[in-house]
Structure 1
Amino acid sequence: MDRSPGGGDRPDYAHWMEIPTRWADNDAYGHMNNTVHYEFMDTAINTWLVEQGGLDYRGGAVIGLCVESQCSYTAEIAFPEVLAVGLSVSHLGNSSVHYAVGLYRRDRTTEVAEGRFVHVFCDRETRRPVPVDGRLRTALEKLRRSP
């Protein structure tokens, strides 16, 4: 059964980055709190958008707004560990993009969580959807999964 919103197989991810856990990520149960997984997904996605897509989140005319996110947790993780975060695009529309995100232990063999994250790109002022084009589209195309 594929319970994963993103596919879940390590080769499915087009880009990887490592993110260390922090002391404050652990909760009262001694593991990384569920909300932190979303922070890691958001960090991987936005790092790609800024570094590869040229997204100017501080003052650019176009911003990406999260309209949907989901996470399935498959293993515990706790500070001090480093996560390998896999990123791919499962759908690239006119103004929206669906990301698949896999969180793994650093060796990429133990899955921690699988996520889905959807951005709609909008005009900063009007908050109305705008086409994804130029350098941003090119960067997102690089993350697109093969059918």
Structure 2
Amino acid sequence: MSRPDPRLRAAYPLFRPIQTRWMDNDVYGHVNNVVYYSWFDTAVNGWLIEAAGLDIHAGDVIGLVIETRCNYFAPLAFPDRIEAGIATAHIGRSSVRYEIGLFAAGAEAPAAQGHFVHVYVNRDGRRPVAALPDRMRLALETIRQE
């Protein structure tokens, strides 16, 4: 499998700030790889709650992650400030593929980039929804990757 080229800042229509924490660093002096996946979730779900009306506590529709990937290009470490770039690469009937780039504040090239796929299901039966809620679909369209 070949390593992808980094997608520069201009590839992402939306950015969300993330502050590293002391506990994010590992014994090698940089952010541990598992934290990057947490940042993916934090950036996307925070935006979904604010912009798309996702109700994580009582909503009928929830997103389950079914696929994820991350490629690393440069280390990040506490106390770096991170800017998470987000784009939608595919919006289906009940699924969405998000592309995420993690940038040191102000950097043009990402320290890491990846994707994850949400399948939206009904909360009770955990079966895929017939269609994404209108407000969510409209919000997702605003960050569609060109």
Does the alignment reach a TM-score above 0.5?
yes
Alpha-carbon separation, structure 1, partners of 2:99 and 2:145: 9
Residue 28 of structure 1: how far off its partner (Å): 1.1
Letter in 1 for 2:18: I
RMSD over aligned Cα atoms: 1.3
Match of 2:25 in 1: 26
CA deviation string 1:11-53 (max 9, x = no partner)? 1101001111000000111110000001111111001110000
Match of 1:73 in 2: 72
* Number of residues of Structure 1 aligned to a counterpart in Structure 2: 144
Q: Is 1:132 aligned with 2:132? A: yes
Match of 1:83 in 2: 82
Alpha-carbon separation, structure 2, partners of 1:110 and 1:102: 9
Identity %: 44
Match of 1:115 in 2: 114
Specify every segment of 5 or more residues in structure 2 that has no aligned partner in the other structure, as ranges: none
Which stretch of the first structure deviates more once superposed, 8-17 or 69-78? 8-17
Match of 2:60 in 1: 61
Alpha-carbon separation, structure 1, partners of 2:70 and 2:124: 30
- Structure 1 runs of 4+ off > 4 angstroms? none
Alpha-carbon separation, structure 2, partners of 1:137 and 1:43: 19
When normalised by structure 1's length, the TM-score is 0.93
Alpha-carbon separation, structure 1, partners of 2:49 and 2:108: 28
Residue 109 of structure 1: how far off its partner (Å): 2.4
Alpha-carbon separation, structure 1, partners of 2:97 and 2:85: 14
Specify every segment of 5 or more residues in structure 1 that has no aligned partner in the other structure, as ranges: none
Letter in 2 for 1:145: Q
CA deviation string 1:73-96 (max 9, x = no partner)? 110011011011100000000000
When normalised by structure 2's length, the TM-score is 0.94
